[in-house]
Structure 1
C-alpha cells in the first residue's frame, strides 16, 4: 500500500510509520523537515509548509492508496487537502479530537459520534479557555469541510476523534510531570477546588495506531464515517494518580487542591503542575469503534505500567519544565494543607 503521512516524525505518527514500514508498505512523509526522523532511506520525504506552498504543488499529482493526516487543524487545511488529493487517494484519514464535542452546547458526556450535531457554545472570555475553544471550533470546521466533500463528491475521508494521548515520546511529557512529583514523595498541587470532578478518559498512543491501521484495512466500510477511540475506564483524576503511583512504586499521592489564580499568583504554571486538571479534557465513548472496527484498548493499569517503566528506565536528559520550582510547590502545599486543617 502507498501511504502518505502528513506529519509522522513525532509521537503518534512516529509509531504509525514504524508499523507501516514493518508491514512492508511504501511510506511517504510530508512535513516541514524541522524534526529529524530515524527512518533513513526506508521512507520518501517531501518537505514543505501546507499553509504557504500548498499540498498540491508539493505532491505533484502523486497517487496514494491512503493518507493519514495529523496536520489538519482548520478549514483551509481541509480545502487544501481536498484540492491536492482529489482523484489521487483511495482513503483519507483525518485525525481529529474529542474537543469537537466540548464546544457544543450541553453535549452529553461521554460523547458518542451521534452527539456531534447541535448548537455551539458561545466563546469563553478567559484567554486560556479561548485557546482551547478555538482549537475545537477550528477542528470542527475542518471536519465539516471534509464531510461536505464526502457528501458532494465522495472524497474518501474518515474522521478519527481522540482525547488526550499518553505514551512514550509525548513531546509535552504530561505524564512525566506527575511521575516526577509522585516519585519524590511530596504532595501534588492540583489547580482546582474540586479535584474529584476531573474525569480522566485518555488513550494510549499505540491504541491510536491500532485504530488507524484498522481503518486503513477497511476503506470500503469506513469512508464517510467518524469514530471515537479511547480507553474504556473512566476515572477521577485522584483515582488515576493513585494507579499511576502504584505502577511507579511510589507512595499513595497526597493531593492538595489550590485555586488556579493562587498558583499563577505565585508564579507557578498550573498546566505544568497538573496537565490533566482542565475543563477541556474530552470524555468520549469508544463503543462504535469497539463494535465495528474491533478496536480493543489495552487495560489502563497496563498502560500506566508501561508509562511508569519507560520513565524510570529512560530518564530524559532535558529537565521537565517547571520542576525547578518544586520547592516552591512544596512550600505552597504545606501552607494550604495547614490552612485547611
Structure 2
C-alpha cells in the first residue's frame, strides 16, 4: 500500500487501519477540492441596484449564502433582506448622486436589476466600465417582436415599438462598451413578494369563488418563471466565461395556456380545477381605458431557456403548480390579501356583456 498524500496520516494512523485512513484522506481531498473551486471561482464584492423589493431580495440572499460581499444601492425605503449586507442610500436617476456615492467604491460585479432606459444605466457604466469583472443587466423577453415561430430564442428580432425598447437600447449600448456584460431576459416573473398583480389576480377570484374572465378562447400560450429560479440563474452567470457578451432567456421550462394557468392556480389554492368557472370574452369589444382587465399580454408569449440551462448549468427548481403554491401560501394568504377589498369592476362589465 502506497504512502498517503498527507504524510502526517502515516504517522498518526498505521497502515493496518486502511478503512479509517481512506475515509480521512478522502475527506481531506474533498475539502481541498472545495477550497480550490472556491478560490478559482472567487468570492466577489457585488453591487446590486435595488435589492429590497422582489428579484433583488432573492438574489441578495443567494449571493450572501454563496459567500459574496453584497452591497445594495437604493432609496432606502425598505430594510435589507438579510444580515451582513451594506446599503448605500441614493437615487439612481440622479447621475450626480451615483458619482458622489459610488465612484470611490470598488466592485467585482454589478447586477443592474431596475434600469429601464439607457439613461438609467449609462451613468453606472461610465463609472465602472474599466474596473469591473462583470456587469449583469436585467432586460426582458418583452423586447421580442411578435412572431409566427415560437418559442422566442435569444437571436430573434426585437420590436422597436415595444414598451421595453429601453431595455434593448441598453443591451445594444453595453455591447459597444469595454465591459464584460451579460443580459437576462425573463418572461413573466412570479413568486412571493411579487408587486405585479399576476398570480394574485387569479387567486383573488379563485378564493372568492368568482368567475375568471379570460380574453380570447383561453388557448393563448404563455410562460411563467419563479423569482427564486431567476435569481439562481443570475448567480450562475458570475465567473462563467461563456456568459460574457451573451443574452439569456430565463423562465420556467414549460409553457401553459391562459385556461391552464387558471386551473394551475386553482390547484395551488387547494381547489379542484373543475370547481372554477372560466368565462371567455372578446377584448376588442371592450374599452376599459387605463384599467387592466387581464394581467398578461393577449398573445402567445414564451421563450426557450435551453441556452441558459446549457451554458449556465442551471435548472429551474419549481414547476408551475409548486411555484404557484409557494406564492399562494407564502404571500397571498400570509399577507391577508384574501380578506382585502378588490376592485372587480372590469369583471362585472365583462360578465354583464357576455351574459
Name whichever of 56-65 and 286-295 sits farther off. 56-65
Q: 1:52 to 1:318 in 2, by over 3 A?
A: farther
1:202 aligns with 2:224: yes
Structure 2 residue aligned with 1:216: 238
Map 1:52-201 to 2 at 5 A: 52-54=94-96, 55-101=98-144, 104=145, 106=147, 108-116=149-157, 120=159, 123=161, 133=162, 135-149=163-177, 153=178, 155-190=179-214, 192-197=215-220, 199-201=221-223
User: Which secondary structure does the structure 1 equivalent of 2:213 belong to?
Assistant: strand
State the number of aligned residues. Answer: 308
Q: 1:187 to 1:147 in 2, by over 3 A?
A: same
Once the two structures are superposed, what CA deviation does each residue of 1:23-43 show, in whole Å capped at 9, x if it has no partner?
332111111223333445x22
Structure 2 residue aligned with 1:254: 277
Output the TM-score relative to the length of structure 2. 0.78
Contact 2:211/2:278 (CA < 8 Å) preserved in 1? yes
Larger Rg: 2
Contact 1:31/1:49 (CA < 8 Å) preserved in 2? yes
Output the TM-score relative to the length of structure 1. 0.81
Contact 1:165/1:202 (CA < 8 Å) preserved in 2? yes
Long gaps (5+) in structure 2 = 1-43
User: Which secondary structure does the structure 2 equivalent of 1:4 belong to?
Assistant: strand
Counterpart-to-counterpart distance in 1, 2:343 and 2:122: 44
Counterpart-to-counterpart distance in 2, 1:33 and 1:137: 28
Shift of 1:105: 6.4
Q: 1:316 to 1:147 in 2, by over 3 A?
A: farther
Contact 1:183/1:251 (CA < 8 Å) preserved in 2? no
Long gaps (5+) in structure 1 = 124-132
Q: 1:100 to 1:324 in 2, by over 3 A?
A: closer
Q: RMSD value over aligned CA atoms?
A: 2.6
User: Which secondary structure does the structure 1 equivalent of 2:111 belong to?
Assistant: strand
Counterpart-to-counterpart distance in 1, 2:348 and 2:271: 17
Structure 2 residue aligned with 1:127: none
Contact 1:186/1:330 (CA < 8 Å) preserved in 2? no
1:283 aligns with 2:302: yes
Once the two structures are superposed, what CA deviation does each residue of 1:288-319 show, in whole Å capped at 9, x if it has no partner?
01111122113222212222332464143697
Counterpart-to-counterpart distance in 2, 1:318 and 1:45: 33
Determine which of 56, 69, 79 is the counterpart of 1:36. Answer: 79
Counterpart-to-counterpart distance in 2, 1:106 and 1:268: 26
Counterpart-to-counterpart distance in 2, 1:207 and 1:96: 16
Contact 2:62/2:232 (CA < 8 Å) preserved in 1? no
Shift of 1:257: 2.2
1:4 aligns with 2:47: yes
Contact 2:268/2:328 (CA < 8 Å) preserved in 1? yes
